[in-house]
Amino acid sequence: MCGIIGHIKLNKEKIDEQLFHQMLSTLQHRGPDGEGVFISPDRKIALGHKRLSFIDLSDNGKQPFINSNNKIVLTFNGEIYNYLELKKELSTAYSFNTETDTEVVLAAYQVWGIDFVNRLKGMFAIAIVDFNLNQLFLIRDRFGIKPLYYGFYDNQLVFASELKAIIQANVFPKELDKSAVADFFVYRYVPSPKTIWKGINKLAPANYLKVHLKTLDSELTEYWSLKASNHQPSLEKLSADTNQLLLDSVKQHIRSDVPIGSFLSGGYDSSALVLWMTELGLKPNTFSIGFDNWVKSEDHYAKIVADHLGVPNDATIASNSSIDLVDKMAWVYDEPIADISIVPTYLVSELARKKVKAVLSGEGADELFGGYTWQHDFFQQTYNTSLLQKLKNILRPADPVHYYALSMAMGWFDYAELKQLLHEEYHSSIPEDVHWFYRKHFRSDLTPIKAIQHMDIKCFMGELVLTKIDRASMANSLEVRVPFLDHQLFEQIFSIDEKMYLSKNQTKQVLFENIKIKLPKSILSRKKQGFVGPDTYYMNMEYYRKELANANLVKFNVINQSYLESLLKQNYNWKLWKILILEKWFSNWIAA
């Protein structure tokens, strides 16, 4: 895992090498094992790379990687899990000099052109400068596991793995995107392609950007989308096929020249991953997070699984004082993200990094198998066989976007509330349809429940969950690998009639079928629990009153004091968590 940056200048200036190294140094946490810089002979193009090494630990893996005639330069962040299979396929057309997946990416591009991206399995953010074509390609993986930001300004292009590196370039005015501020209060994150900064964009998942090196004209292409059908295999066949795909995915994800551990919560997803690792002959170190004085604390369940599978487990316990880490999260996350597990994810990543450089994690399983409560409830409602429910479905058919927006509504502000919260300078930037991002990713060609799953993949997971896990782990120089996010596995499940993999009585039925005789009954019967903590951890109203007194958001005319005071008089309101997160970010990046 790594960090990448790039700078292209078409104005009269040339690359400032000292400044470029300063930009690269902001990503030290993403790659403490080494760094590399490429600057073109005319000093108009620069690429940089920070390395966290896993495969071929020698200097052969150093990036940016340059082809034999110095016409193609590549830098990338991520892991290509099928690189050995691709290398074998490419060996008749390309002579390899290293054991790295980086050279496989370069070879694949040289042989197949930009369509090579469709052959990759993995997580990646890739930059390729092709002097033969006078083109730059910026490419992001299908699910958005790895980040990539970019912006054009004053005949320049700057891109990087994190916003802090772009800000360090001193190219863009530090101006808030007012519509992004409004979006944050609706979604808990700033949705792609926006960022919190005006003029800087996120490259959306499953997209690549083609940029002409001589003009900076650009073209955006979506290279992958999920297709759906309604095949009806038996549950036995579906479970067996899925188990094989997952076992193969885990096998590829543990390819490394250093040990791989695993996060472990005691839920189905992480427990299954550790189970498969043991079946493949590993005894991985596992890592868990718990909360002080909480009966539902995950570390208890994680220990049950670890003991059952005979693997070591370390746990860290969050206390009430851990919430103070939100001050540090403003730097870690670059832009405001109000997931309630940003601090616990950071803490368990910090714990894991003491023993390993990489872990497996269960992200993607809920999206894939319908594990979220809102998916289950929507399925129950949609396929309820009672005459009354059938009549209700006919008279008032469910609107998946409206349903989904309500499901995501932790601390949600509607249009009227945004006008009360935000200073009048922001009112013209509030979108009339505050749920535009959900609507953008709603697909009417899918069945209603698959449409819900698709919005989860593109919105909740792609923008919130994966951003959280990337920043929290990489801030600790830890790589997180997510075997459930295998695009072939998603394609298989979406080709199946949802009634075959969703059940009214059993959560994540297909996964359950593969673990039901291999894990303790206390784990199998455990009620679904998200990665959360006790409400008391987040709803200390005295803490909010102290932290939001003399708020910079008020001083700088972002929010209104009167509305903030009305919230602070209450005993419980998740809107305060969002305001706190933005206040910490604003104080760190603008008001400091």
CA–CA distance, 576 with 564 (Å, rounded to integer)? 8
Count of C-beta atoms within a 10 Å radius of residue 295: 7
Beta-carbon contacts of 213 under 8 Å, excluding residues fewer than 6 positions away, are 8, 45, 129, 131, 134, 135, 136
Alpha carbon distance 182, 419 (integer Å): 9
The vertex-143 CA angle with 141 and 145, nearest 5°, equals 70
Distance, in Å, from the CA atom of 157 to the CA atom of 321, rounded to the nearest integer, reads: 42
CB 175 within 8 A of CB 197: yes
Of 6, 26, 5, give the one whose Cα is nearest residue 589: 26
Identity of residue 85: E
CB 86 within 8 A of CB 80: yes
Beta sheet of 358-360, edge-to-edge order: 313-318, 286-291, 261-263, 358-360, 479-481
DSSP 22-38: HHHHTTGGG-BTEEEEE
Residue 497 phi/psi, 5-degree rounding, is -55, 130
**β-strands 207-212, 261-263 pairing:** unpaired
Tokens read off for 471: 């920043």
Whether the Cβ atoms of residue 268 and residue 278 lie closer than 8 Å to each other: no
Residue 79 pairs with which residues in a beta bridge?
123
Instruction: Give φ, ψ of 346 to 5 degrees.
Output: -65, -45
CA distance 258 to 4: 22
CA dihedral 405, 407, 408, 414 (to 10 degrees): 50
> Which tokens hold the place of 410?
């932790």
Task: Return d(Cα 199, Cα 202) in angstroms, integer.
Answer: 10
Q: State the sign of the Cα–Cα–Cα–Cα dihedral 290, 291, 292, 295.
A: negative
What's the CA gap between 288 and 301, in Å, rounded?
A: 10
Going edge to edge, which strands form the sheet with 2-9? 34-39, 45-51, 2-9, 156-160, 149-153, 200-202
Active site positions, annotated: 2
Whole-angstrom Cα Rg for the chain:
24
Residue pair 62/51 in contact by the 8 Å Cβ criterion: yes
Q: 210 in helix, strand or coil?
A: strand
How many angstroms separate the CA atoms of 178 and 195, rounded?
10
Q: For residue 204, give Cα distances in angstroms to 224, 458, 486.
A: 11, 9, 18
